[in-house]
Structure 1
């Protein structure tokens, strides 16, 4: 069976120490190949050092990106809901450029590197005004070595994947192609954060089954409930399933090789790091 390359990416690093701990453990166990940093969130300052050490120890095994946050913990702007950013009118670009630059500055000064990729908390990076400001700032800041950008092109059927894609994927893809930004092929891992661990395991098996070379599987793990977080329990379930050795077995059974997206975009899937084996399969619902 020929291998296909997949990148598993955890969002929201920096949101809370329980999120940070889950992400670091999954990286240590080889389950994650990327994570996105929320540089204004309460857990970023204390968690950044550990993430930096992990990245420096194995730079070719992990992509660390900026998870652009405009809705919860921005640095120079007041938080605004998704509708506010979707309907942002002319004149918002200057404030957006300032906020994007501030978050990139915070990322670079803390981690000592440019981001390997950029995406948005709640996919806000693809909204029309945001994506224009983001790519203008990135083009000026990183000429000749541009980070890759997350595509939200849906990898499965369903209302929520279709809705997320409809909120800006086509416009983002057109502008990214024009400016030379690389993107993942499709986005997997979209669901309503409902069900138990067995249900998540079934969903995960389905995403892996339909995955193709260059796809991105996003997740939102945490070691325990994050106070006040709307998806607190779903985060814990995701961590339990992803941290199980059974996950590796499913990857191997399907011939999936996991690797950072930056490597998948630069090399054939056959060169990606093979998934490790385990003698059991993911539990079925």
Structure 2
């Protein structure tokens, strides 16, 4: 998205606070910061984008318009498939491999029409970047205990936009998905609010869950979420995060010390 976001991701990777990050292949900082990303131990996924304009070709619509068009069955499916294929090809060109997983910018990967074209483009699990193929983010099993009604509602709305349909199709095609989903909130409140939500998310996290986050280190003047992204970074990098992980016996996948060969 921008260099401040990239810097936050790379610093948190060094601290062992992330397991994966999603690559926005058309983003203005992708080429600049990709070598440093590939030097980390993070899983790298495709952040499928159909709503954010970087001057790229293909389908790019405001989110509300994309949702309405998808549910009316009026998406230009050949153009959607072309956009997906182009981003998958560019991902492989940039990284030298297929994505470890796929999610969507503003969760567009789960929308009717989009999800079918995505699964067809991935070609079944045998076409993936790992032995079992790429896993696909599922927003449909949110962990909501202890959260206020407005955040529970937002999480359910996101899930209701197509998670169940994607899950049925993904599992039938042999793709795996995360067990539960955490991290939905209103991007408000600075560090105190994010600390409160993070402590609640981690208290109910289970094996195989995905907790999404949106950190940045430093501000980008064009990013409306810059202040809250920095608050996320502060919490994710802080001592409280380490204590919560220890208290709940949680390990961030892929951050365990490597075992030396015997």
Deviation at 1:196, TM superposition (A): 2.0
- Asked whether 1:155 is paired with 2:143, we answer yes
**Cα distance in 1 between the residues matched to 2:10 and 2:173:** 33
Q: Give the aligned length.
A: 243
For residues 130-141 of structure 1, the aligned pairs below 5 Å read: 130-139=114-123
Q: Which is strand-richer, 1 or 2?
A: 1
Deviation at 1:227, TM superposition (A): 2.2
Structure 1 unaligned spans of 5+: 1-14, 261-271, 275-285
Instruction: Report if aligned partners of 2:139, 2:180 keep a CA contact under 8 Å in 1.
Output: yes
Instruction: Report if aligned partners of 2:190, 2:227 keep a CA contact under 8 Å in 1.
Output: no
Give 1:82's aligned residue: 63
Give 1:104's aligned residue: 88
Structure 2 unaligned spans of 5+: 258-262
The structure whose RCO (Cα within 8 Å, separation 6+) is larger is 1
- Asked whether 1:220 is paired with 2:214, we answer yes
- After superposing the two structures, state which structure 1 stretch, 116-125 or 99-108, moved more: 99-108
Instruction: Report if aligned partners of 2:216, 2:230 keep a CA contact under 8 Å in 1.
Output: yes
- Asked whether 1:118 is paired with 2:105, we answer no
Instruction: Report if aligned partners of 2:46, 2:99 keep a CA contact under 8 Å in 1.
Output: yes
Q: TM-score, normalised by structure 2?
A: 0.87
Instruction: Report if aligned partners of 1:34, 1:64 keep a CA contact under 8 Å in 2.
Output: yes
Give 1:273's aligned residue: 256
**DSSP 3-state at the match of 2:11:** helix
For residues 239-250 of structure 1, the aligned pairs below 5 Å read: 239-250=233-244
- Asked whether 1:63 is paired with 2:43, we answer yes
Deviation at 1:213, TM superposition (A): 1.3
- Asked whether 1:211 is paired with 2:205, we answer yes
RMSD: 1.8
Deviation at 1:233, TM superposition (A): 1.2
Q: TM-score, normalised by structure 1?
A: 0.81
